[in-house]
């Protein structure tokens, strides 16, 4: 199945998908709507874009390549009242065989409840608020002014995820940063790996 722009659910209640197979699909969904996927299979998929503000995933299995997108743990305030919930249930998902290029787990997804890919291309930070605060204190002391400024931009990006409610961070190094941030990001990611 190849879907150029999917909407999996609209209206004031979730569309629900139980034990469905999307195996081998090519998917893009800039606005996938409100949906709940339970025990669904997304094996060998190519996801070009998936922006999940109001989508829940429970006990689903993923493999293939995820080019860009994000999963939200909470629902934007302007949509929550109409939908009747302010959180997305997101647990028990197996992403261990998924290749993530540009991914965001945001606004309160508990990554300890997911199985994530491992390897040198990925960083998992279990206690993001404390770890990022420690790195910030070190970056602020860098002597090279330009490197320090670029380092603070990298730190601020991480802090924005934490301020949005994310307690653990999962980062992919497969998407190169803007050229001016490359050196600072490489140093900071190296520091994160050592903590």
The per-residue pLDDT for range 90-116, each reduced to its tens digit, is 999 999 999 999 999 999 999 999 999
* 149 vs 78: CA distance, rounded Å: 35
Report CA-CA distances (Å) from 49 to 78, 104, 159: 23, 12, 24
Residue whose tokens read 């050592």 = 194
pTM for the full model?
0.90
Q: Would you state the pLDDT for residue 74?
A: 95
Q: Would you state the pLDDT for residue 32?
A: 82
DSSP assignment of 6-48, as one string?
---B-SSS-EEEES-B-TT-EEEESS-BEEEEES-EEEEEEEE
- Closest Cα to residue 189, out of 76, 177, 102, 26? 177
Q: Would you state the pLDDT for residue 28?
A: 85
Q: Tell me which residues of the chain have a pLDDT lower than 50.
A: none
Phi, psi of 76 (to 5 degrees): -55, 140
Q: Would you state the pLDDT for residue 83?
A: 83
């Amino acid at each position: 199945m190849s879907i150029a722009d999917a909407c999996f659910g609209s209206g004031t209640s979730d569309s629900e998908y139980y034990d469905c197979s999307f195996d081998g699909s090519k998917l893009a969904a800039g606005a996938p709507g409100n949906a709940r996927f339970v025990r669904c299979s997304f094996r060998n998929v190519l996801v070009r874009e998936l922006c999940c503000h109001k989508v829940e995933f429970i006990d689903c299995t993923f493999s293939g390549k995820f080019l860009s997108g994000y999963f939200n743990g909470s629902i934007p305030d302007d949509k929550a009242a109409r939908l009747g919930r302010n959180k997305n249930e997101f647990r028990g998902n197996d992403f261990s065989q998924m290749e993530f290029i540009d991914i965001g787990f945001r606004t309160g997804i508990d990554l300890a409840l997911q199985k994530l890919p491992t390897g040198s291309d990925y960083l998992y930070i279990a206690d993001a608020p404390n770890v990022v605060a420690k790195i910030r204190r070190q970056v602020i002391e860098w002597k090279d002014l330009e490197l320090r400024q670029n380092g603070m931009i990298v730190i601020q990006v991480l802090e924005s995820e934490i301020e949005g409610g994310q307690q653990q961070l999962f980062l992919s190094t497969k998407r190169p940063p803007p050229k001016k941030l490359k050196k600072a990001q490489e140093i900071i990611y190296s520091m994160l790996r050592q903590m």
